[in-house]
Amino acid sequence: MNGIQQRTEQDRAERARANEGLPTLGFDSATPYDDYVGTATLHRLQRTVTDAPEELAFLVTTQVMELYFGLLRSEWRLAQRQLDDDDATAATATIKRTVHHFEALNAAWASLSWLTPAQFNQFRDALGEASGFQSALYRHVEFLLGNKSEARTRPHRRNPEAYAELMEALARPSLYDSVLAFLARAGHAVPGEAVARDFAADYQPSPQVEAVWVEVYGGPLAPLAEALTELAEQFSDWRYRHLMAVRRSMGGKPGSGGSSGLSWLERSMRREIFPELWTARTLM
């Protein structure tokens, strides 16, 4: 990596002794921290389009969320590979880690919780048709959680890389599909139609899968079920906070991307992920 040289525990101890416990203050070029984090590039990405002081907070918060979307995508892909390898322990740990990522992602809404319609209106028109609906990474996150929709890939047709990734994600198993396939291989009575199906189509809840989760909760895979439940809860929290941020900053006005805004988000909230994990609780 540019400007970064690896250091061992012994190297660090020797440097601390030489510095008499003080931080190193002299470097031949940019600091190793700046090289690693890419701070110069990162801070050049905040290009506001108005002079409204509130716009920078809106832009930075949105960019932070995009970084978390990319992190979640990477982690859930890893969890799928671990499930494909029948390593439930590793997959559970990965999914639980993403619950914490989601907690931080959801907390980012606090940076916009003060935004009033008057403040948002100062820069909203300048955003044109730009809308969070158009986030390819968020759409990928939804696809991995099982909220599939071919129509929602269409805004990205002019971006070949993003479009190809989304079409691949649309056709591939979601995280829930990977979990069900793992449970079937582990000997649970997951029905064949829940495993061998068109992954681009909406998942249809099954009483047999519901019964499988009741069984899972009585065995060693219960931590996997709970990790998924916690993840589903965090995703619901994300959608609710998004809804409330929109309600607070623009009320019931139409969305920038052409949707009805608030009412469209309310309808989207009704689409549940991991459905049998919730309904199975009634049978326990």
Distance of CA 32 to the CA centre of its chain: 29
Q: What is the pTM of this model?
A: 0.91
CB 227 within 8 A of CB 97: no
Question: Cα–Cα distances in Å, from 217 out to 146, 182, 211?
Answer: 22, 15, 10
How far is the C-alpha of 148 from the C-alpha of 263, rounded, in Å? Answer: 20
- pLDDT for the residue 30: 81
- pLDDT for the residue 256: 64
CA angle 24, 25, 27 (to 5 degrees): 95
- pLDDT for the residue 259: 62
Q: Write the single-letter amino acid at 205.
A: P
- pLDDT for the residue 278: 95
Q: How large is the angle between the packed helices 175-185 and 222-250, nearest 10 degrees?
A: 170
Annotated binding-site residue? 242? yes
**57-124+131-283 is a CATH 1.10.3720.10 domain:** no
Annotated binding-site residue? 124? yes
pLDDT tens for each residue of the chain, 284 residues long: 455 788 899 988 888 888 888 887 888 878 888 888 999 999 999 999 999 999 999 999 999 999 999 999 999 999 999 999 999 999 999 999 999 999 999 999 999 989 999 999 999 999 988 877 789 999 999 999 999 989 889 989 999 999 999 999 999 999 999 999 999 999 999 999 999 999 999 899 999 999 999 999 999 999 999 999 999 999 999 998 988 888 888 887 776 665 666 776 777 767 789 999 999 999 99
Which pair of structure tokens corresponds to residue 211? 């019964």
Element (H, E) at 142: helix 136-144
Burial of 29 (0-12, 13-18, 19+ CB in 10 A): exposed
124 in the Ramachandran plot: left (φ > 0), alpha (ψ -120 to 50) or beta?
Answer: alpha
Question: Cα–Cα distances in Å, from 195 out to 51, 198, 210, 225, 241?
Answer: 53, 9, 14, 17, 33
- pLDDT for the residue 5: 80
The residue extents of the domains of the chain are: 57-124+131-283
Question: Cα–Cα distances in Å, from 85 out to 79, 146, 213?
Answer: 10, 21, 21
How far is the C-alpha of 71 from the C-alpha of 199, rounded, in Å? Answer: 23
How far is the C-alpha of 3 from the C-alpha of 63, rounded, in Å? Answer: 26
